[in-house]
Amino acid sequence: MRDYFADDLLLIMPTTHSPGVRLSGEVVSTHRGPLALALTDQTQAGGRDRTQTDEILIDLTGVRYLANSGLETLVAFAVHLQPPQCLVVRSAPDLDLHDRIAARGWDRIETLRLEEDSGA
- pLDDT tens digits for range 46-101: 444 445 678 999 999 999 999 999 999 999 999 999 999 999 999 999 999 999 99
Residue 17 burial (C-beta neighbours within 10 Å; 0-12, 13-18, 19+): exposed
Instruction: State what percent of residues in the chain have pLDDT above 90.
Output: 77
Mean pLDDT, all residues of the chain: 90
pLDDT of residue 92: 94
Give the separation between CA 2 and CA 64, rounded to whole angstroms.
Answer: 23
Give the separation between CA 27 and CA 62, rounded to whole angstroms.
Answer: 11
Instruction: State what percent of residues in the chain have pLDDT above 70.
Output: 88
pTM of the shown model: 0.88
Per residue in 13-37, pLDDT (tens digit) is 999 888 899 999 999 999 999 999 9
